Amino acid sequence: MGNILNIRVIAQTLNEEEVGKAWPGLCALVWPEWSARLQLCTPSMKKLLGSKQGPAQGSKQDSALCWTLGPSPVEKALGKRRHGVAELAEGLCDLLCMGLAMGSLPERVAEALREPGDKIAEALKGLNAALAAWNPTEANVMSNTLELALDLAERTLTKALNNEQSSS
């Protein structure tokens, strides 16, 4: 590696809309305003969020569901928030930790996402470790593991919301 030219191994989502299509419920939890713009919310997710734009200001759900991380250095440089796979996983893990700690995440959501959230956190940690070690083969394995964990979380969230909708 030169003094000026740096070599990096990175993972980057090229088409952010594909993230929204693959995991609309998770995106609605982590990025409610972005999801509403892309019209990703299902009826049960709209009910959870309170409206198409997300929960009302000051509502009990407002603090957890609309909470997102501050901008990363990449976001600052680009002047916009990224909505990629890794950013979704990071935001979801942080949302689950904050929501559980503050008690502001709806119980059925917290319970449904507890196990998938652990798998997402583990896969994200493995992906970051592989990237830091300049190991693209392992990073590819971990990216597949991360996407499978996000798939599981989306299915689990959808099932929890549908179960609640049918019981009410």
- Give domain status of residue 32, yes or no: yes
- Give domain status of residue 1, yes or no: no
Residue 162's pLDDT band, with cuts at 50, 70 and 90, is: confident
Residue with the bigger pLDDT between 104 and 53: it is: 104
Q: How far apart are alpha carbons 98 and 30 in whole angstroms?
A: 12
Share of the chain above pLDDT 70, in %: 65
Which stretch of DSSP H or E encloses residue 32?
helix 32-37
CA of 21: how far to CAs of 17, 25, 85, in Å? 6, 9, 12
**Lowest-pLDDT choice from 14-28, 32-46, 50-64, 126-140:** 50-64
- Give domain status of residue 2, yes or no: no
- Give domain status of residue 10, yes or no: no
Q: What is the pLDDT of residue 108?
A: 81
Q: How far apart are alpha carbons 81 and 144 in whole angstroms?
A: 23
When divided into structural domains, the chain yields a total of 1
Q: What is the pLDDT of residue 107?
A: 80
Residue 28's pLDDT band, with cuts at 50, 70 and 90, is: confident
Query: How confident is the prediction for the chain on average, in pLDDT?
Result: 77
The residues near 77 (Cβ < 8 Å, ≥ 6 apart) are: none
The residues near 55 (Cβ < 8 Å, ≥ 6 apart) are: 32, 49, 61, 62, 65, 66
Task: Decide if 54 contacts 36 (C-beta within 8 A).
Answer: yes
The string of pLDDT tens digits covering residues 52-82 is 334 333 333 333 333 334 454 444 555 567 8
Neighbours of 2 (CB within 10 A): 6
Residue 44's pLDDT band, with cuts at 50, 70 and 90, is: low
- Give domain status of residue 163, yes or no: yes
Q: What is the pLDDT of residue 167?
A: 65
Q: How far apart are alpha carbons 108 and 53 in whole angstroms?
A: 21
Interhelix angle 85-102/136-167, nearest 10 degrees:
50
| Structural domain that includes position 108 | 16-167
User: Position of tokens 């809309």?
Assistant: 17
